């Protein structure tokens, strides 16, 4: 996907980040600060690498009043699903599994026994799980889940406990393949497959399959796997509550779990869309293949990725519960990532993206 559009040429022909332009970007970031959102981290980069800017605004730890720093890491939460989906597709490329395989073929006996209480595992395929169309209840929707999270923030969840909660507290959403229903439980299952077939932790398995270290992503790690990445982690807030000491096992098993920064999120998306992750270009096409259902889905979700509109343009993206979002805009060949330390209010797309794109247009002179 190459930049051959007029707007991009207007934005980046001979473009450099002058002090004025940098001030405009920083002003856009500061405009997103509020009592409920004390900080914003942001990166934007063109696909050809000719333009790149990262910024930070606001406070990290409210109890200390220290400023956010550009390269700090954060819990990307469900953006982890993009990495998990890509890793499963790499296992497909290696012929370890097929997307059409029933999940019963790959699950551990103990987890198959739990899930079989509610689901016909012979009818649920890996592809359906990737697309959130398997009919799995989302265990995070059980009131008991966040009840326990907030009552006992340091509680250590296991994959087994999350699957058991999903079976005990929810019913199947519908027949496999018939509907879209977002479910962390499905990606917790996929995380097990990555561990099983690489013989490594989920962190190690994803890094091996996607070649993250070869890409130079030094601060993209599952929490507790790299001391420096952990030490750089910011404070993230939910409804005014500091969640810094919440156990990472809340979503550690595939639905979430990765720490990263905005620059490395952009680098990963760029590697993905520029053909540096998969062996076969067809695999990316398969990952992004549109899906339709008898009843229109609430999200235009493919496999670990979904489409949104930003300033009237299509964009591929994923977002995370604690305030993270990453975008790729094919029309402009632009990659953008943001983290709101207190999340953003309303809308599928974080407002900062539209503001930065507007600032880019306004900062370039119009042709007569």
Looking at the predicted structure, is the pLDDT value of residue 51 above 60? Answer: yes
Q: What is the average pLDDT across 18-39?
A: 89
For residue 6, what pLDDT is reported?
Answer: 33
Q: Can you give the pLDDT at residue 2?
A: 37
What is the C-alpha to C-alpha distance for residues 326 and 265, in angstroms, rounded to an integer?
7
pLDDT-based confidence at 26, cuts 50/70/90? very high
- pLDDT tier, 14 (very low <50, low <70, confident <90, very high otherwise): very low
Mean pLDDT of 68-95: 98
In what order do the strands lie in the sheet containing 74-75?
74-75, 258-260, 221-222
Residue 247 placed within a domain: yes
Domain residue limits at 38: 6-362
The 10s digit of each residue's pLDDT in 105-141 is: 999 999 999 999 999 999 999 999 999 999 999 999 9
Q: Into how many domains does the chain fold?
A: 1
Structure confidence by residue, pLDDT tens digits, 177-209: 999 999 999 999 999 999 999 999 999 999 999
- pLDDT tens by residue, 288-299: 999 999 999 999
Range name among 225-229, 251-255, 339-343, 358-362 with the lowest pLDDT average: 358-362
Residue 15 binned pLDDT confidence (cut-offs 50, 70, 90): very low
Evaluate whether residue 43 is within a structural domain: yes
Provide mean pLDDT across the span 249-275.
98
Note whether 72 and 105 are within 8 A (CB). no
- Is 1 inside a domain boundary? no
Mean pLDDT computed over 312-332: 98
Residue % of the chain over a pLDDT of 90: 90
The pLDDT, as a whole number, for residue 17 is: 52
**In the prediction, which pLDDT does 199 show?**
98
DSSP letters, 50-97, are: S-EEEEEEEBS-TTTTPBP-TT-BEE-GGGHHHHHHHHHHHHHHTTS-
Q: Whole-angstrom Cα distance, residue 188 to residue 160?
A: 9
Asked if residue 138 belongs to a domain, the reply is: yes
Residues of the chain with pLDDT > 70: what percent?
93
Is residue 296 situated within a structural domain? yes
Cα–Cα distance for residue pair 357/65, rounded to 1 Å: 30
Q: How far apart are CA 265 and CA 219, in angstroms?
A: 10
| Residue 362: band (very low, low, confident or very high) from pLDDT cuts 50, 70, 90 | confident
Residue pair 73/232 in contact by the 8 Å Cβ criterion: yes
Average pLDDT, the chain: 93
Q: Is residue 358 part of a domain?
A: yes
Q: Are the C-beta atoms of 7 and 15 separated by less than 8 Å? A: no
In a domain, residue 367? The reply is no
User: What pLDDT, on a 0 to 100 scale, did the predictor assign at position 366?
Assistant: 53
Compute φ and ψ for 170, nearest 5 degrees. Answer: -145, 160
- pLDDT grade, residue 176 (50/70/90)? very high
Q: Is the pLDDT of residue 8 over 90?
A: no
Give the closest residue to 92 by CA, choosing from 136, 121, 125.
125
Backbone phi, psi, residue 279, to 5°: -75, -35
Is 368 inside a domain boundary?
no
Residue 7 pLDDT class (50, 70, 90 cuts): very low
What's the rounded mean pLDDT across residues 242-262? 98
Residue 23: the pLDDT is: 85
Residue 173 is given by DSSP the state -
Q: What angle do CA 148, 152, 158 make, to 5 degrees?
A: 65
pLDDT of residue 139: 98
Q: What is the pLDDT of residue 18?
A: 55
**pLDDT score recorded for residue 365:** 55
Q: How far is CA 178 from the centre of its chain?
A: 24
Average of per-residue pLDDT across 335-353: 96
CATH number reported for the structural domain that contains residue 314 in this entry: 3.40.710.10
Q: What is the pLDDT of residue 346?
A: 85
CB–CB of 223/259 below 8 Å? Answer: yes
């Amino acid at each position: 996907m190459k930049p051959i559009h007029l707007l991009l040429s207007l934005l980046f022909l001979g473009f450099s980040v002058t002090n004025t332009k940098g001030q405009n970007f920083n002003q856009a970031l500061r405009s997103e600060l509020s009592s409920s959102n004390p900080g914003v981290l942001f990166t934007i980069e063109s696909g050809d690498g000719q333009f790149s800017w990262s910024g930070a605004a606001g406070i990290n730890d409210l109890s200390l009043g220290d400023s956010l720093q550009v390269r700090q890491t954060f819990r990307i939460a469900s953006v982890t699903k993009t990495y998990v989906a890509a890793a499963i597709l790499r296992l497909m490329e290696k012929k370890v599994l097929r997307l059409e395989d029933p999940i019963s073929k790959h699950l551990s006996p103990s987890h198959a026994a739990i899930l079989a209480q509610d689901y016909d595992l012979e009818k649920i395929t890996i592809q359906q799980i990737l697309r959130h169309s398997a009919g799995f209840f989302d265990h995070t929707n059980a009131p008991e889940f966040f009840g326990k999270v907030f009552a006992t923030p340091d509680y250590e969840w296991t994959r087994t406990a999350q699957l058991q909660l999903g079976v005990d507290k929810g019913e199947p959403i519908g027949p496999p393949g018939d509907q879209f229903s977002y479910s962390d439980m499905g990606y917790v299952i996929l995380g097990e497959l990555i561990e099983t077939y690489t013989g490594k932790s989920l962190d190690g398995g994803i890094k091996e399959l996607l070649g993250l270290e070869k890409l130079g992503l030094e601060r993209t790690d599952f929490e507790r796997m790299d001391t420096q990445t952990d030490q750089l982690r910011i404070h993230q807030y939910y409804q005014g509550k500091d969640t810094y000491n919440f156990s990472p096992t809340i979503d550690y098993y595939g639905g979430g779990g990765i720490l990263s920064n905005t620059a490395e999120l952009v680098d990963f998306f760029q590697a993905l869309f520029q053909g540096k992750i998969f062996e076969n270009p067809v695999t990316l096409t398969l990952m992004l293949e549109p899906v339709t259902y008898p009843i229109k889905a609430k999200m235009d979700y493919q496999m670990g990725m979904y489409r949104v509109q930003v300033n009237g343009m299509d964009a591929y993206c994923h977002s995370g519960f604690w305030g993270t979002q990453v975008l790729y805009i094919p029309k402009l060949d632009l990659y953008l990532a943001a983290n709101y330390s207190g999340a953003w209010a309303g809308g599928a797309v974080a407002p900062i993206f539209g503001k930065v794109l507007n600032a880019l247009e306004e900062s370039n002179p119009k042709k007569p």
